[in-house]
Amino acid sequence: MSRMIPNNQITLLQNGEAYFPAIEAALDRAMHEIFIETYIFENDNTGRRISEALKRAALRGVTTCVLIDGFGSIGFPKTMVDDLEAAGVRVLKFRPKTSPWTLRRRRLRRLHRKIVVVDQTIAFVGGININDHRDISSQTSLRVDYAVSIQGPLVKEIHDSARRVWSRVAWMRWLPDRGRNDDRYRPSTEPTGLMQAAFLVRNNIRHRRDIEEAYLQAVEQAQDEIILASAYFLPGLNFRRALTDAAGRGVRVVLLLQGRMDHPLLHYASQALYGSFLAAGIEIHEYHKSMMHAKVAVIDEHWATVGSSNLDPFSLLLALEANVVVDDEAFAKELKFSLEQAIETGAQRIGEKNWGTQSIGQRLASWLSYGVVRFMIGIAGYAPGELPGRAVPIDHAA
């Protein structure tokens, strides 16, 4: 796992209303280089807005590199790619889409990270894709989601990680590495704050379990309270035991989970775990006001994490993910307050007595879904030493 690095300034960004203006302003200040990684890049108002900022940067001579996932951004049109590349933006796709009916082991290994790095002076990490953030059904409620902006020594680690992934993708396609460091450019290393933070990644090489292990260590050391918010929640046995053990020693454990069904299989599979969690005294709140896309946690009002990693097999075993861990009381309390507001204003608590009276059909759907998901993950597997993905230039993708 990465070590905690001091002297950073970490700012919590809640939802797209805070995130997109912040990254657009950073792109417009860029003077040397930009790296963006995202799972979804949509051709909507937000996507076009960020595309215009990227073009403005490239046209004034900034090295601008955009890496999108081949499955998550399957709808990103070639016309937008051509427009970006005409302005000098370099766009690559991480693995073209594979048929959902194939059993190829690598199909589910995606680029799920959401990272923006500008001039090695500011970085953004979180769970927010580049797309409109209003609820799809009502267009009134914002999705619940988070990111952070980082200034300080930690930015270098985030930059180096983004550059390595970009370079590996370009190398595997025999393309020139236009994301190389400019040796003439040396960012300031002066401290910008007083906050300790770490940058954690999950990949299929040396960092398979870094994010999960950071969570487990924090949960096992918790003394008072654990609040976890995860859009997709299907942790493994060790993680489940850590949560129930914490509840057993008197720690308040709160789960904020997605109540709306955008992926029925995962939704029902997660509910298969509710009974054992409720019996252990763990609180479960399902968020129904809008889509709940968050992937964050607060433990004992000082340890917090914000990132792209859900607590499910896709994130913990297969995808490329990135989280920031912050050890700071003020930051943790701000995130905790936001989560408590979400619970109070948009969530429904699942009661143990009511849950125990669910129909046989509901229980059967949950356990069948759980079995199917675990089977799919077993089929997907992961290969030791695998590089993070065979990528193709987006304009050549299938």
The 10s digit of each residue's pLDDT in 330-372 is 999 999 999 999 999 999 999 877 776 676 777 777 778 777 7
Checking if the pLDDT of 153 tops 90, the result is: yes
Domain with CATH 3.30.870.10 in the chain: 5-197, 201-380
Rounded to whole angstroms, how far apart are CA atoms 397 and 389?
14
Q: Which residue has the tokens 């902006």?
A: 149
Task: Report how far Cα 32 is from the mean position of its chain's Cα atoms.
Answer: 26
Confidence of residue 378 (pLDDT cuts 50, 70, 90): low
* Residue 112 confidence (pLDDT): 95
* Residue 395 confidence (pLDDT): 36
Confidence of residue 380 (pLDDT cuts 50, 70, 90): low
- The answer to whether the beta carbons of residues 391 and 94 sit under 8 Å apart is yes
Rounded to whole angstroms, how far apart are CA atoms 254 and 145?
17
Checking if the pLDDT of 69 tops 60, the result is: yes
Checking if the pLDDT of 235 tops 50, the result is: yes
Kind and range of the H or E element at 86? helix 78-86
- Give percent of the chain with pLDDT exceeding 70: 82
Rounded to whole angstroms, how far apart are CA atoms 203 and 320?
5
CATH number of 5-197: 3.30.870.10
- Give percent of the chain with pLDDT exceeding 90: 64
Residues assigned a catalytic role: 112, 114, 119, 293, 295, 300
User: What is the pTM for the complete model shown?
Assistant: 0.90
* Residue 268 confidence (pLDDT): 80
Checking if the pLDDT of 398 tops 50, the result is: no
Fold of domain 201-380: Endonuclease; Chain A (3.30.870)
Burial 363-379 (b: 16+ CB within 10 A, else e): eebbeebbeebeeebee
* Residue 372 confidence (pLDDT): 76
106-122 pLDDT tens trace: 556 799 999 999 999 99
240-257 pLDDT tens trace: 999 999 999 999 999 999
pLDDT mean across residues, the chain: 86
